[in-house]
Amino acid sequence: MPKTLDVRGKFCPIPVMETAKAINEVPVGDVLEVLATDPAADPDIRAWAKRMGHEVVSSEKTAEGYLRIVVRRLK
C-alpha cells in the first residue's frame, strides 16, 4: 500500500473529506487505504468514489472492528 489514511475515531463528514484530500497524494493507478471506525464511511466513500471517477477495490471489517477501505485513483 503506497498510502494509508487513518480516520479512526472521526465521524461524517471527516472520513470522506480526508479521503478526497489524500487521494490527490496518490499517483493515478495506485491505491489509498482508508482505516475508519464510522460505519457511514463505507457507503459515503463508495458514493464519493463513484461520483469522482475512482474505484473502491475492497471494503472489509477487520478483526479489530474497524473498516479497511481500499480506493484506486483512476484520474
Backbone angles phi, psi at 64, to 5 degrees: -80, -10
pLDDT of residue 1: 52
| Grid cell for residue 49 | 468514489
Q: What is the pLDDT of residues 25-51, one digit of tens each?
A: 999 999 999 999 999 999 999 999 999
From the candidates 1, 12, 47, 57, which is the catalytic residue?
12
Mean pLDDT of 51-57: 97
What are the CA-CA distances from residue 23 to residues 3, 18, 70, 75 (Å)? Answer: 9, 9, 11, 10
12 is a catalytic site residue: yes
pLDDT of residue 2: 73
Q: What is the pLDDT of residues 3-13, one digit of tens each?
A: 999 999 999 99
SS (H, E, C) 35-53: EECCCCHHHHHHHHHHHHC
For residue 69, give every residue at least 6 positions away whose Cβ sits within 8 Å of its Cβ, in sequence order, or none: 33, 34, 36, 41, 42, 45, 56, 58, 59
- Sorted by where each begins, the domain ranges of the chain are 3-72
CATH no. for 3-72: 3.30.110.40
